[in-house]
Amino acid sequence: MTQTSEVAGPEAITATGAEPNAGPGPVSPSRRDRLRAATIEEIVQTARRILVKDGPEAVSLRAIAREMGMTAPGLYRYFGNYEELVRYLCASIFTELGNDIHQAIEAAEPPAADSGPDGFMRAKLTVKMVAACGEFRRWALNHRGEFALLFGVPLPGLDDGRYDIADECALAFAGTFFRLFLELWQKPPFPVPDDAQIDPGLRDQLSRYRDALGASIPLGAALPLGAVLTFLRCWTLLYGAVAMEVFGHMRFALEDPAPMFEITLGDLAALVGLRYPQ
């Protein structure tokens, strides 16, 4: 299911290389632009191979250049510095992961059962939720190095407060789960805390996060803060279960955490008014 997602480089955000308002009609990229985009993609994928093979600390401009038969200074023609390159690598991986989860949601089919329209709808939503969470776990276990880069301790210099392409793609990844959550919320609504029941400090933070998601998903802007809180509680459960398994923190007790993950899915379903197993 996993497909490598291309992410344009720092000077190739517009695929054609033209100005955004350069006039009507599509403009084909020049041969030079295509070669540049291909080199940028090769740099990003080389960085990913080194990440998977030797870990995040091994990803350096010198190592990438050596692998590609280039000089390290030559990479500066494509990326301003090491941090920018790694941010583009993160963006590429976030895009791939989001696409994989979206495909899993689209492919999910409820079991055939004569349970009436409401029962069928709940079964379909449950299958979608399980598919999304299961694909996140599957991807994480099959891409442990990439998972550590995206969801582990940030590399030095990357968590500097700037908003860039990596943050955009991370928000798009969150949007994959958020759209599913909105579908759950709109069809069979479930109880959530009233705004007055939420700690004021937490309420302000939830409001800012809702605004950020609502910028790209308009329906999200009208979501009650209690529903946003429930969405984050769901993410905390899912991420916690998967991260503990990926990083080996369940080995002290469990050889196979898969049955434990099934229990987590049941807890997630209960938070959004569903039942799993059905």
Mean pLDDT is lowest, of 54-68, 87-101, 163-177, for 163-177
167-221 pLDDT, tens per residue?
Answer: 888 888 988 998 999 999 988 779 999 999 999 999 999 999 888 887 777 777 7
Question: Tokens 């291309």 belong to which residue?
Answer: 6
Average pLDDT score over the chain: 85
The three-state secondary structure class of 165 is: helix
135-154 pLDDT, tens per residue?
Answer: 999 999 999 999 999 998 77
Please give the model's pTM, rounded to 2 decimal places.
Answer: 0.82
Question: Tokens 């998977």 belong to which residue?
Answer: 52
Residue type (1 letter), 138: R
Helical axes 225-246 vs 165-186, angle rounded to 10°: 120
The closest of 101, 102, 93, 99 to 146, measured between CA atoms, is: 93
How high is the pLDDT of residue 12?
A: 40
How high is the pLDDT of residue 158?
A: 57
3-state helix, strand, coil in the chain (%, to 5): 65, 0, 35
| CATH of range 90-271; options 1.10.600.10, 1.10.357.10, 3.40.50.720, 1.10.150.120 | 1.10.357.10
96-139 pLDDT, tens per residue?
Answer: 999 999 999 999 987 776 566 678 888 899 999 999 999 999 99
Instruction: Give the C-alpha separation, 35 to 244, whole Å.
Output: 41
Domain edges within the chain: 90-271
Contact assessment for residue 108 and residue 168, using Cβ atoms and an 8 Å cutoff: no
